[in-house]
């Protein structure tokens, strides 16, 4: 077998193609995930191993110091490179995401409330003889 050494040069990766800045990956319940790219073990005991589960291979964070699976943000040696690990073991980015969603809902309900108040004011003005196009 012979392998060809030449060939076309590799093209550089675009920013969107598997490159760029990794995003924080908290667990769905908001806790810190030891598989997050920003999770750090201050004991340098964190390894990622592949473990079979239900016929599939899953990535699992393994702590060499205790010889078991990593407990994540509740460990006293857990840290975050972005300083987003809160004392209760939750991720700040997960809380911000939840707050953003509630802020949007609050904003929509506030707009609906103000529109209903404005319609009441417009009806009262029409009764008094003022019209929306006229100056008050």
Q: Give 93-118 pLDDT, tens digit per residue.
A: 887 776 666 667 777 888 888 899 98
Residue 107 shares a structural domain with residue 123: yes
Q: Residue 70 has what pLDDT?
A: 93
pTM higher than the cut 0.75: no
Query: Which residue range is the domain that position 119 belongs to?
Result: 92-136
In the chain, the number of structural domains is 2
Residue 86 shares a structural domain with residue 101: no
Q: How far apart are CA 116 and CA 114, in angstroms?
A: 5
- Assigned domain for 101 exists: yes
- Assigned domain for 24 exists: no
Q: Answer whether 47's CB lies under 8 Å from 64's CB.
A: yes
């Amino acid at each position: 077998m012979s392998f060809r050494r030449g060939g076309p040069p590799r093209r550089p990766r675009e920013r969107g193609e598997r490159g760029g800045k990794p995003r924080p990956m908290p667990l769905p319940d908001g806790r810190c995930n030891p598989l997050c790219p920003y999770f750090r073990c201050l004991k340098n005991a964190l390894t990622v191993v592949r473990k079979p589960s239900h016929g599939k291979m899953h990535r699992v964070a393994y702590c060499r110091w205790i010889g078991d699976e990593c407990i994540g943000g509740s460990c006293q040696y857990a840290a975050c490179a972005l300083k987003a690990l809160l004392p209760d073991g939750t991720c700040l980015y997960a809380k911000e995401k939840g707050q953003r969603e509630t802020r949007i809902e609050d904003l929509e309900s506030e707009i609906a409330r103000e529109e209903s108040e404005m319609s009441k004011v417009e009806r009262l003005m029409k009764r008094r003889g003022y019209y929306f196009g006229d100056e008050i």
